[in-house]
Structure 1
Amino acid sequence: MNYRLDIQYDGTRYEGWQRQKTTGNTIQGKIEEVLSRMLDAPVQIDGAGRTDAGVHAKGQVANVHMDTEKNCEEICAYLNRYLPEDIEIYKVTQVQERFHSRLLAKKKVYQYRIATGHHKNVFERKYQCPLHEEFDVDAIKAAAELLTGTHDFKSFCSNKKMKKSTVRTIYSIRVESLPNELRITYTGDGFLYNMVRILTGTLIEAGRGTRKPEEMKGILSACDRGAAGFTAPAQGLTLLEVEY
């Protein structure tokens, strides 16, 4: 049977989502370890997105094919009993055999949070990029508008050996100026390696005045990672939702 897992995690102390041969300290690795113990057999799960080391998730989705006599509530309870306190499975549901968390995803929503005030928020410091500076929000919004739509985002991908298509669609980039915080929320059909963090770094440069918003067109057409801005730190990024 095929099961969908809805997951949230604080990615601060992990080496990202994807399992790795060199370390067991990944989100996927931790979940597979507990499921393998539950079934007394090796288990592999598929995640909707491979979040980087230090990136968080409120709405990650995975699926797993397994045979068990436990019902969904019992599977969920078992996982949460043995997973670390910074990983939570908040729902387990049985789904159709053809459901695949990554291949069938229609939209993904990521949010990047930037601390803009003069003082750090000690309770939010793991979830904000601590720049503590003011930005030209109108310039960021103007730049974001030019990045919205269907484009080749090769300039915003850290994987230089990427052989597959780098064309993606960003449906919206919402920029919110809050007291002591700037939030940028991206909704798209999919994102390349480090894409959201590079987009954010580029928008920050526009907000600082070191780039003009109209430069976004040239960055896109360059299809060159060197044309875009810096890669924003992982800690400010959270995967909010995956839509099917």
Structure 2
Amino acid sequence: MGCQPCPRLFALVCRPPGRLAQRAAGSRHAAPLLDRGGRARDRRPCGRGRERCPRRPAGGRRPPPPHRHRWPLRPRRRHRSGHGRVPPAGGNVSQLAAGQRLLLHLAFDGTAYAGWQVQPGQVTVQGAVEAAMARLCNRPVRLHGASRTDAGVHAAHLPAHLDLPRPFAAAALLRGLNALLPPDIVCHRLEPVASDFHARFAARGKLYRYRIFNHPVRPLWDRPYLLWEARPLDVAAMATAVAPLVGVHDFASFCAADADTTTTVREVVAARFGPAGDELHLEIAGTGFLKHMVRAITGTLLEVGLGRLPSHGLTAILAARDRGAGGPTAPARGLCLVEVVYDPAQLEQWRAHLGDQ
């Protein structure tokens, strides 16, 4: 009596070839496709010319998988700061009517601009803001600034007013304006003002700051915003020299020759020169300033710091009323318009505390 074959080995040897083995044996149509039971299968897709598969609906598409979430989806949590929050549709969004006069509080890096005022063939800050507003309102807009800065001078706060040509939501106007402005100009806020308000004539005072970096090695990060002076300076003499500037004087010795002004008399309410960290700052506040006035004062102070002028030399320069008597005009990159105020009380605060800081 012979040995009986193993059932497992018999099933393995006699198992019909798989789908990959059938395809490798020849062409796609060389042999019929067999299922696991050895029966021939139709190669046509399910639902085309033969009885459809009972597991598939008509059309050959499988039903979608069941919902696998074990709990209902929760809405995405918003950041506590309110970023991305949609403002309510009620009356909380202030609406600005057409013809409303607005005061824009602007700041800019003046490195790439030929000053504030619009000039033919020049890129200016006023021109850039007017172009953004015209694109936003779809009609021309005229802007009136509180001050006119020189080419290359920066501003941390320069107000300017305009008459809104069409109705707008205040929040949408501020957001749209900043989206269209160049990256070196920003509008911090806007506020409605009276129809007879003028940003320039209503201003009561301005504060300027000139930054000097007095070090043998040139600065790296802040070089577009300050003047580098490698030679040692007499800081004490420079601080003493600014004292005669305070008061009402004729600043013709510190005014540009091509300035279009009727009078050169101005009032300086406070002036300070001294160290501020690794830098030296000249801070000067007044009711008004002439063209190149702060830069001419800075250039004269540098002559004092280098020992070329005595510390009391600015008194004689003021009395001369001649631009040739003063020192050279300092570069524009170190000057910044810090603030423009419309409250007379701020002048008294500068008068009392600016020199003590």
TM-score computed with the length of structure 1 as normaliser: 0.96
Instruction: Give 1:210's match in structure 2, choosing from 302, 308, 311.
Output: 308
Larger radius of gyration: 2
Deviation at 1:87, TM superposition (A): 0.3
Separation in 2, partners of 1:53, 1:3: 26
Q: 2:321 maps to which residue?
A: 223
Q: 2:46 maps to which residue?
A: none
User: Whose strand fraction is larger, Structure 1's or Structure 2's?
Assistant: 1
2:276 is aligned with 1:178: yes
Letter in 1 for 2:225: Y
State the secondary structure of the residue aligned to 1:130. strand
2:190 is aligned with 1:76: no
Letter in 1 for 2:218: K
2:118 is aligned with 1:10: no
Higher relative contact order (CA 8 A, sep 6+): 1
**Aligned residue runs from structure 1 range 23-172, under 5 A:** 23=122, 25-160=123-258, 162-172=260-270
Separation in 2, partners of 1:111, 1:163: 23
Specify whether residues 196 and 208 from structure 1 end up closer, same or farther in structure 2 by C-alpha distance, changes over 3 A only. same
Deviation at 1:178, TM superposition (A): 3.3
State the secondary structure of the residue aligned to 1:109. strand
Q: Does the 8 A contact of 2:219 with 2:228 survive in 1?
A: no
Q: How many residues are aligned here?
A: 243
Separation in 2, partners of 1:155, 1:73: 46
Deviation at 1:39, TM superposition (A): 2.0
Q: Over aligned residues, Cα RMSD in angstroms?
A: 1.3
Deviation at 1:151, TM superposition (A): 0.1
Q: Does the 8 A contact of 2:139 with 2:165 survive in 1?
A: no
Deviation at 1:135, TM superposition (A): 1.4
Specify whether residues 51 and 161 from structure 1 end up closer, same or farther in structure 2 by C-alpha distance, changes over 3 A only. closer
In structure 2, runs of 5+ residues without a counterpart are 1-99, 343-357
Q: Does the 8 A contact of 1:57 with 1:238 survive in 2?
A: yes
Deviation at 1:161, TM superposition (A): 5.5
Separation in 2, partners of 1:40, 1:148: 47
Residues 25-34 or 70-79, more deviating:
70-79
Q: Does the 8 A contact of 2:257 with 2:323 survive in 1?
A: no
Separation in 2, partners of 1:50, 1:57: 10
Percentage of identical aligned residues: 39
Letter in 2 for 1:219: I
In structure 1, runs of 5+ residues without a counterpart are none
Separation in 1, partners of 2:131, 2:104: 15
State the secondary structure of the residue aligned to 1:170. strand
Deviation at 1:22, TM superposition (A): 2.0
Q: Does the 8 A contact of 2:212 with 2:226 survive in 1?
A: yes
